[in-house]
Structure formats: structure tokens, C-alpha cells
Amino acid sequence: TGSNLKTIFFFFLLLPFFAHAFTPPNDTALVNKYLREAKAFYEKDQIDSAEGLYKKAGALAREISYFDGYLDYTARYAGLLYAQLRYKEALQLSEEQLAVAKQAGNKRKEADAYNNIALQYQALNRLPEAAECLLKALRLAEQLDNLTIQQRFNSNLASLFYTLKNKEKSLYYARKGYAVALKMNDTARLAWSMTNLVISETLNEMYDSAIAHCKVIVSIGA
């Protein structure tokens, strides 16, 4: 597919930049400094300054083969681009994030990259492609046995399938997300998962169950 070809393209594009393992500690510290400063500028809504520093961080991380720094750069800068409604640019950066995560063998970052790509696809109204990427993210989360991202990806899938008006899949993933949240002993995530479940139950005309879960959500917030 076109998406796979793009990923392969970015993978080989990045290979020359990550061809050696030596990473000078002073340079990695500088990458992290750029990232921290960019985040501070972004939080102050100084977008141009933040963007400039993110680009400097990415260029240096690529030059010194600093995988973790480059992955942080792609994730954070893609978030800035998404917030600025620059979805196509964010998608391209998230595809770079995926290629580097695969090259680094970092399954957690790979899952995050698939989730970020799905986010951009949703914004571009390419919903089937978004669902495909989220399913890949969820499979990785389950392989890693990471409950936090399992819960997030299941809930994201429930919301996406709700938008697609796929009743069965929306309910299936909402229930999975809720089941994972129950294992986590996290009140906020439990409420979030239950809210998705209420929405999916309403789509499936399961009104009594939806009302019962609404009451539980209210009691959690009380």
C-alpha cells in the first residue's frame, strides 16, 4: 500500500543518519536541552520559537544517531503540528517516528507512533486507515503486556468505530478498554473507559446498561 511504501521510504532515508552507535554525551544533553526549551516555548504559545528548537533537536539527534532523542523530537513536534492543524506534516513526521522506532527495536515507541499516525489519519478523515494503525498499536501493547497503553488504544478504537457507526466493534473495544481499566486501579482511566462504554452502549440501544454506567461515573466524580 501507499502507507507501507512511505514507511519503507522513511526507513531507508533515515538509515544513513543512524549508521553508527557512538553518541557523545554532551551532544545528547544538548538535544534534550533543545527539547525542554522547545516545550517551554510551546507552553507559552510561542510557536515559532518552539518549532525552531524542535528542528534543531531533531537535526542534532539524527546527526549523532541519538535514537531516543530523535523519537522524542518526532513525537513532540508532531504534537505541535497537530495542534496547529498541520495534519499532513504531522503525519509525515509520525511516519518518520515509526521508521526510527522499528530501526531501534523499540516496540513501545513503535506502538506510540502507530497511535500518532492514526490520530493524523482521523484528522484527515481517513478513518479506515486510522483503524488499521490503531489495531497495530493495540497488538504491540498486548505483546508488551502494557495495561496503560492497552486501555488507551482500546478506548481510542471504541471512539473511532463509534464515528464509523460500527456498533459491534465500538462496543467490543469499549468493553475491552473497561476491562483493562478495572485491572489498573486507576479511577480516572476507569471513568474514561466507562464513558466510552456508555457511548457505545447508547449506539447499540443498550439504554438500561448505559444509564447504570452513567450513575457509576457520577458516583466516581462525586
Per residue of the chain (222 residues), what is the pLDDT tens digit?
544 444 433 433 444 445 444 445 679 999 999 999 999 999 999 999 999 999 999 999 999 999 999 999 999 999 999 999 999 999 999 999 999 999 999 999 999 999 999 999 999 999 999 999 999 999 999 999 999 999 999 999 999 999 999 999 999 999 999 999 999 988 889 999 999 999 999 999 999 999 999 998 888 876
pLDDT for 222:
62
Q: What is the pLDDT of residue 220?
A: 82
List Cβ neighbours of 108 (8 Å cut-off, separation of 6 or more): 140, 144, 146, 149
CA 152 remoteness from chain centre: 9
Which residues have CB under 8 Å from 82's CB, separation 6+? 90, 119, 120, 123
Which pLDDT value is given to residue 185?
Answer: 84
User: Which pLDDT score is estimated for 128?
Assistant: 95
Q: Using CA atoms, how far apart are residues 199 and 120, in angstroms rounded to an integer?
A: 23
> What distance in Å separates the CA atoms of residue 147 and residue 124, rounded to the nearest whole number?
28
124, burial (CB in 10 Å: exposed 0-12, middle 13-18, buried 19+): middle
- CA-nearest of 46, 135, 58, 65 to 89 is 58
Cell numbers for 218: 457520577
Calculate ∠ Cα 117-122-125, nearest 5°.
130
At residue 16, the pLDDT reads 42
Q: Which three cell numbers stand for residue 60?
A: 542534532
For residue 151, give the nearest of 177, 112, 119, 185 by alpha carbon: 177
Task: Name residues whose C-beta falls within 8 Å of residue 117's C-beta, 6 or more positions apart in sequence.
Answer: 91, 94, 95, 98, 133
Query: What pTM value is reported for the model?
Result: 0.84
